[in-house]
Amino acid sequence: VRGVVKLDFSDSDAAFRESVRAFCREHVPDGAPPRDVRSDQTAWKRALIARGWQAYRLPADAGGTNWSAAEKFIWERETSARGLPSQLPGMGVAMIGPILAGFGSPEQKAQHLPPILSDRVRWCQGYSEPGSGSDLASLRTAAVHDGPDYVVTGEKIWTSNAHEADWMFGLVRTSSEGKKQAGITFLLIDMRSPGVAVHPIVTIDGQHHLNRVTFDGVRVPEANRIGSEGQGWTVAKGLLTHERTGLAFVSLSLHLARNLRGAARELSADTPDFLRRVTDLETELRALEVTELRTLADSTNGAAPGVQSSFLKLKGTIIVQAFTEMFVEAAGPYAAPWLPEIAHAGSNLEPVGPMWAHLETIRYLNGRAASIAGGSDEVQRDIVAKHVLGL
């Protein structure tokens, strides 16, 4: 019944949860501390692939698991409790996978889905441009038809992990006539093509995630176009909705909530006022979790996530950022002498003070970007104001 959320699981869901726990236990035993960002996930990724669980959100015929909404929910919670990624990391499975599944030709699916599912390629997303972020439809990177190719010239910015990517899925302008959305086309661009250059941007957390990518007469075969020419906006909108549903950060906030009290106790920062604020935040998180469950239930019944995804992204961002702020507050002076290199996989640098103080400070700094990436807080508020409140 719509509006009623059942919070206990059926017998078959409980059995599924046991099988998931047994699988996860092989990598992180019961009672062991959850993995942190520095751990090597190679064995876990191999196990996910061997089991066929590496892309559980994709449709079954594109490599997904065909799990129910409840099963997906169980999987996400059980993996996050042990610090294990719930799917292959990066934008392959999470972002271009659903687009290929929904809009790709049989040839494009055959070319790109197998290497994505076996973790052999890296993808990046080339949407934003200087001056075209929130107002994405104003993008100017031009693609001009020339024989069997498009010739692409222009610039993308804030491109996460472009420096490690083999392929970019991006939006280009193929026409300036009529509505600006109607002149946009969706292309898959081989990052090794002549004329592609990647320029690093180092962020406040001291890490290199972001880049500026320039295109100087880059030839892209027409066969790399997803959908028809001018249909790029429709293709991208499907992906943006998908992106937003994964952006409530509930699993991450639950993980932070589990560890915050213990961390504060270690440094005697667990004053009554601090603990009261943790409890307030946990209450907000519980409400968000139930909202996410309701969205899941609606999507199982065939409804599109729609405006709820804006609300989830906005509220999820506020909550996860509040948790990271409380970690920094608990870390006190140990939040200051941080070493960005400490977060690199395999790093054996020794911190001053507890390790969590350093890792959580990096997470706090990195987490500021959540208010912008994937659609800014202000833009999400606008959507909620217009479509929920009718303002």
Ligand X SMILES: Cc1cc2nc3c(=O)[nH]c(=O)nc-3n(C[C@H](O)[C@H](O)[C@H](O)COP(=O)(O)OP(=O)(O)OC[C@H]3O[C@@H](n4cnc5c(N)ncnc54)[C@H](O)[C@@H]3O)c2cc1C
Is residue 127 close enough to count as binding ligand X by CB under 6 A?
yes
Residues 6+ apart with CB under 8 A from 116: 55, 63, 88, 92, 93, 96, 97, 100, 123
CB atoms within 10 A of CB 179: 11
Which of 83, 90 has the CB closer to ligand X? 90
Site string for ligand X, 67-106 (x = CB under 6 A): ----------------------------------------
Residues 213 and 152: beta-carbon distance below 8 Å: no
- Six token digits for residue 101: 């599944």
Is residue 159 close enough to count as binding ligand X by CB under 6 A?
yes
Q: Which of 87, 128, 174, 308 binds ligand X (CB under 6 A)?
A: 128
Between the CA of residue 337 and those of 66, 168, 267, 268, 331, what are the distances in Å? 47, 37, 16, 19, 11
Enumerate residues 206-235 that contact ligand X by CB under 6 A. Answer: 210
Is residue 249 close enough to count as binding ligand X by CB under 6 A?
no
Which of 126, 232 has the CB closer to ligand X? 126
Residues 239 and 93: beta-carbon distance below 8 Å: no
- Shortest Cβ distance from residue 4 to ligand X (Å)? 35
What backbone phi and psi angles, to 5 degrees, belong to 373?
A: -60, 140
Is residue 133 close enough to count as binding ligand X by CB under 6 A?
yes
Report the chain's C-alpha Rg in angstroms. Answer: 22
**In the chain, what is the straight-line distance between the N-terminal and C-terminal CA atoms, in Å?**
29
What sections of 63-173 are H helices per DSSP? 69-81, 91, 97-103, 106-117
Which of 83, 126 has the CB closer to ligand X? 126
- Shortest Cβ distance from residue 379 to ligand X (Å)? 5
Q: Which of 158, 167, 311, 338 binds ligand X (CB under 6 A)?
A: 158
- Shortest Cβ distance from residue 95 to ligand X (Å)? 9
CB atoms within 10 A of CB 377: 15
What residue number has its CB nearest to ligand X? 133
Residues 113 and 97: beta-carbon distance below 8 Å: yes
Is residue 138 close enough to count as binding ligand X by CB under 6 A?
no
**Considering only 21-29, 46-54, 155-163, 244-252, which stretch makes contact with ligand X by CB under 6 A?**
155-163
Which of 286, 381 has the CB closer to ligand X? 381
Length of the chain: 391
Per-residue DSSP letters for 230-271? T-HHHHHHHHHHHHHHTTS-HHHHHHHHHHHHHHHHHTT---
- Shortest Cβ distance from residue 178 to ligand X (Å)? 22
Is residue 160 close enough to count as binding ligand X by CB under 6 A?
yes
Site string for ligand X, 345-384 (x = CB under 6 A): ------------------------x--xx-xx-xx--x--
Is residue 47 close enough to count as binding ligand X by CB under 6 A?
no
Residues 74 and 81: beta-carbon distance below 8 Å: no
Is residue 125 close enough to count as binding ligand X by CB under 6 A?
yes
Count of residues engaged in binding ligand X, rule: CB under 6 A: 19
Which residues of the shown chain bind ligand X in the complex (CB under 6 A)?
124-128, 133-134, 158-160, 210, 369, 372-373, 375-376, 378-379, 382
